[in-house]
Amino acid sequence: MGMKVDHIGVAVPDLEGALDVWRDVLALEVEDIEVVPDQKVKVAKLRAGESVIELLEPTEEDSPVGRFLARSGGGIHHICLEVEDLEAALEAFAAKGLRLVDEKPRIGAGGHRIAFVHPKTMGGVLLELTEAPR
C-alpha cells in the first residue's frame, strides 16, 4: 500500500495575515477557500506541486484547531496521507495498535472522506487519512 502526502495542515490565528506570507511572499497559488463547519475551520488550500498546504483558521475558539492555537500559538497541526481504501486502512491501523480519533470516515474539506488517527500513538503527530479518488 503506497501512500503519498495529500496535504499538510497549518493552524493560523489570522488567515489573511497568513496569506500575506504563504500566497504573496512564497507565491503559492490559492486553489480554494472554504469553511468546513464539521471541523469549525476556514481552510485556504495552496498548491505546492503534488501536495497542498492547508491554512486552517478556527471559526470558533472552542474547536480542535482553536484549542491547538491557544495551546501552541500556531504551527503544523496535522499531516494528511492519501490511502486507497479508507475503511481498510482504519481497520488495519487499529488492528496494529494505532488509536483512532474516527472509527469511521467522515466528510472533510472538499467533500472528501477523511478520518483522523490520534497523536498519542503517532509520536505526537495528528495524522489525517483521506481516500484517493477512484
Q: Which of 104, 110, 54 is nearest to 78 (CA)?
A: 54
> Interface with Co ion includes 9 (CB under 5 A)?
yes
Q: How far apart are CB 7 and Co ion at their closest, in Å?
A: 6
Beta-carbon contacts of residue 134 (< 8 Å; ≥ 6 apart): none
Q: How far apart are CB 43 and Co ion at their closest, in Å?
A: 8
Q: How far is CA 35 from the centre of its chain?
A: 13
DSSP 86-101: HHHHHHHHHHTTPPBS
Q: CA–CA separation, 64 vs 71, rounded Å?
A: 11
Among positions 18, 80, 83, 127, the unique one binding Co ion when judged by CB under 5 A: 80
**By Cβ distance, which residue is nearest to Co ion?**
9
Give the strand pairing for 113-117 and 127-131.
Answer: antiparallel
Stretch that binds Co ion, among 44-52, 73-81, 85-93, 118-126 (CB under 5 A): 73-81
Nearer to Co ion, 13 or 110 (CB): 110
Cα atoms in the 13 Å half-sphere on the side-chain side of 26: 14
> Interface with Co ion includes 128 (CB under 5 A)?
yes
Nearer to Co ion, 19 or 108 (CB): 108
Nearer to Co ion, 57 or 128 (CB): 128
Q: How far apart are CB 5 and Co ion at their closest, in Å?
A: 11
Would you tell me which residues interact with Co ion (CB under 5 A)? 9, 80, 128
